[in-house]
Amino acid sequence: MNHSATDRPIKPGSTIGIIGGGQLGRMTAVAAAELGYRVHVFTPEADSPATHVSTQVTTAAYDDQDAVEAFGQSVDVVTFEFENVPAETVRHLSQLVPVRPHWECLAVCQDRVLEKTFCRGSGIQTAPWQAVENAAELADAIAVIGAPAVLKTTRLGYDGKGQVRIHPGTDPTAAWHDLSGGAASLPAILEGFVDFRMEVSVITARRPDGTMASFDVVENRHKNGVLDVTIAPAQISEILTKQALEIGQKLTAAMDLVGLLAVELFITHDDQVLVNEMAPRPHNSGHWTQDGCKTSQFEQLVRAVANLPLGTTERHSDAVMHNLLGGDALDWPRHLGDPDNKLHLYGKGDPRPGRKMGHINTLYAKGSQPQG
């Protein structure tokens, strides 16, 4: 991919359009305001977190072409906090205004088969995988990849949704029905189970001129398929750290991505580094940067898409980020009562079980953070 880009920075006082109204958009909008930008949010959901802190809001479906056109004409650049937007919408927007990351980056990261194929074409390893579209193809793929494995929809799954575990002896027909809801055919992927010792992630920022900067590699620990804790930095060797950073930058450059790319990686027991997933936007595992770095991932996204100089990614403290899910956020008086906590709440009204309501960052002197 090779998209020309203007060398001119987008000046403070201009308007940044954000597709998506969730907490990532909210925190990006706050960072944009601190740099003097206005923000126009486009979201199909009324009263979403980003709308509470934005200058302007369009509430419309992503495929509402009239609303999309009006949105594109009202902003100076567009970025994303949510990548599952129809490709046609993004292509149309890119004819009206600079869209960063470009729609082709979104297309790759929207589809697990395209994502794995892109990694393979870039010479980067992933877990074993095979595309499947029905129960018979699933049975064939299980015979090749083996079990345990995970059957996933190619699109729209996140936080453990849109997937079915495959165990030795699992009936492929039953597993297919569980994933597809009874549909005979559906684009899906079977991913071989990776016996990893650690999951890590790296977030890389890139400007239109190709300048890149990466945040430190961090360890991620999940609970019930949802990120629970991020530990910065990950306690891995310098060699593995270098490999993870190189993978992040190689994929970012290969996609000609402008903005942020988060790459989730598995580190195996024999020290292989395998790509799990990518996201062309701010990432839950980067929330620690709000308090552990001089430049947060959200400010860095604004700098990149506005073609400003990137900020330093240096970590001034070790950090542990804890997600607040569901009713955890209702305990805010206790969280605020601990002077070591930095509480971030997203302004969501309904604390459903498993819903991301906020997070807490706890800082430690560099080199002293607990690993338990």
Among 3.40.718.10, 3.40.50.2300, 3.30.1490.20, 3.10.620.30, what is the CATH number of 128-192? 3.30.1490.20
Give the span between the Cα atoms of 176 and 199, in whole angstroms. Answer: 27
pLDDT of 282 reads 98
Mean pLDDT by 10 residues, the chain (372 residues): 62 97 98 98 96 98 95 97 87 94 92 95 95 95 94 73 86 92 90 94 98 98 93 98 98 98 97 96 98 98 98 97 96 93 95 94 86 54
Query: Looking at domain 196-364, which of 3.30.470.20, 3.40.50.300, 3.40.640.10, 3.40.50.2300 is its CATH number?
Result: 3.30.470.20
> Contact, 257 vs 109, CB < 8 A?
no
Query: Residue 305 is inside which H or E element, if any?
Result: helix 297-305
* pLDDT reported for residue 370: 60
Residues in the chain, overall count: 372
Backbone φ, ψ for residue 174 (5° rounding): -65, -40
pLDDT of res. 311? 98
* The overall pTM is greater than 0.85: yes
Query: Which residue ranges does the chain devote to CATH 3.30.1490.20?
Result: 128-192
Query: How far is it, in rounded angstroms, from Cα 90 to Cα 99?
Result: 8
Q: Which long-range contacts (CB under 8 A, 24 or more apart) does 112-119 make?
A: 112/152, 112/153, 112/154, 112/155, 112/189, 112/191, 112/277, 113/154, 113/187, 113/189, 114/154, 115/277, 115/278, 116/189, 118/251, 118/254, 118/255, 119/251, 119/275
Cβ burial, residue 169 (10 Å; 0-12/13-18/19+):
exposed
Query: CATH 3.40.50.20 in the chain, residues?
Result: 15-110
Q: What is the CA radius of gyration of the chain?
A: 20
Which amino acid would we find at residue 24? L
Q: How many CB atoms lie within 10 A of CB 265?
A: 28
Per-residue pLDDT, 4: 43
Residue 3 pLDDT: 41
Helix axes 103-110, 112-121, angle to 10 degrees: 110
Residue owning tokens 């604004």 = 302
- Which of 37, 11, 74 is closest to 307 using CA atoms? 11
CATH ID of 15-110, from 3.40.50.20, 3.30.420.40, 3.90.1150.10, 3.30.230.10: 3.40.50.20
Strand order in the sheet with 188-192: 129-132, 188-192, 149-153, 163-166
Residue range(s) in the chain whose domain bears CATH number 3.30.470.20: 196-364
In one letter, which amino acid is 168?
Answer: P
Predicted local confidence at residue 2, as pLDDT: 39
